[in-house]
Each structure stands twice: as C-alpha cells, then as structure tokens.
Amino acid sequence: MDTEAFSELFPLFSTSNPETLDWLLSVADEHEYPPNRTILMEDAWGNAVYFLLSGWVKVRRLDGDRAVTLAILGRGDFFGEMAILDESPRSSDAIALSRVQLLSVSAQRFIQTMFKDSQLHHKMLQLMVRRLRLTNYRFQLRNRPPAVKIAYSLVSLAENYGEKSDRGTQIYNIDPSDLANVADVSTEDAQKILEKLQGKGWVKIDASEEAIYLTNLKQLTHLAGYKG
C-alpha cells in the first residue's frame, strides 16, 4: 500500500508527512486472520499497534465467565495503542469477526514515529478525545429506550465503516449478542428490535453475504438522535 492510500484509509495519518508514512510502512508487518481468531489477548503486554486494512474486529473484556463485547471496529481503524501509550497490560481482547487483514507496527517504532511527526502526535490526541466524547455520549444514552441505543450503534458503525451500495449502507452482520453488548441492551431486546427494523424496511439482513444493509439511514439517524 502506498502512502497516499494509507493516509486516506486511516484518518490518524491524514496530516502526516510522506516521509513519516514511508518509514512507518517500511517497518510494518502484514497479518491475516480467519474469522474467530484471537488477535490480542487481555492482560498481555502491549508490543504493537494494529491497523485494520480490511475486515471486522470485536474488542471484548472478560467479566468472570462471561465475555462482554465493548466495541466493533472496521476498515480504517486501529487498536492496541492504549497499552503502548500507558505502558501497561492490555485491558481487552481483540477477536476477528470476519477474515481480517492488518498491518502491525511495534511499540518502539510507533513511539518513534510519534516523536518524529508532531502532526501525528496532535492527530492522536484529537482521535483519543473524540473516542472519549463518544464514550460519554453512549453513557448519556444509558437510560434511553433499547431501540434508540440499537439505532445509535448501527448508525455509528455505518458512519465510521459503512460502504455505500445500491441496497443501502452496508456493515458487517454483527451477532445480536455482540450488538446487544455494544448498545447496552439485552440480547432478546436486540433481536426483537432488529426484527422490527427489518419489518419497517429500515434494515435488511443478508446472512449469505454476512451483511446488514441500512436501507433507511435517515430514519435510523433520527431515531438514534445520532451525534457523530
């Protein structure tokens, strides 16, 4: 992947200079993972940052005997940076939902890159603040109806990772239990709401393509009161 395509895919590097990206790509390693493969383990020490070239990943935390999905990530996002920045063990797992292609950059080289490029350092801070704002907004949704929280989760995934098609905005066909965890609703509620959204024609699930099509993104956005 050339530097221009890389910076277009990953907003983190949108303001980085080409020399920085040339060096970063020269030291990056490529990986492929099949569905359901563990990419990172909770409590392991952070030794790399991962950049998602294609596919879908879920970030989860173990709560006793139960695994709780914290986030769904798609193409153009990255993970593993927090364990590097605060030099502590990872607080969550990362699991491939679909076939995944990644680039990884070692902790030492990623830190070197940030010191080399002040724009990258600033962009990282901006993205971390944005993630914090979104987390705060999700916390504000905690007392809202389950339908609002499911709609917000779907619209957020579409906004960040969706691909436009003549059938609507396409995202991965996320298991209702994972969607329920992310939205903070019960799995039963998530399943019922998805069925209602399909009945309204706002959503179409195509299991054969492992896809959810958001066919009426305007109405879903209105229901969610979405703030991107």
Q: Across the 228 residues of the chain, what is the mean pLDDT of every consecutive 10-residue run?
A: 89 87 92 93 69 95 84 93 60 88 90 83 84 82 93 95 96 96 96 97 96 96 82
Give the pLDDT confidence score for residue 215 in this predicted structure: 97
CATH of domain 3-139: 2.60.120.10
d(CA 6, CA 129): 22
Give the pLDDT confidence score for residue 17 in this predicted structure: 85
What is the DSSP secondary structure assignment for residue 27, as one 8-state letter? H
β-bridge mates for residue 214, sequence order? 169, 203
The boundaries of every CATH 1.10.10.10 domain in the chain are 144-224
Give the pLDDT confidence score for residue 207 in this predicted structure: 94
Residue with tokens 């993205």: 127
The boundaries of every CATH 2.60.120.10 domain in the chain are 3-139
CATH topology assigned to domain 144-224: Arc Repressor Mutant, subunit A (1.10.10)
d(CA 42, CA 92): 4
Give the pLDDT confidence score for residue 127 in this predicted structure: 84
pTM for this predicted structure: 0.88
Alpha-carbon 151 to chain mean position? 16
DSSP letters, 135-189, are HHHHHHGGGS-HHHHHHHHHHHHHHHH-EEETTEEEEE---HHHHHHHHTS-HHH
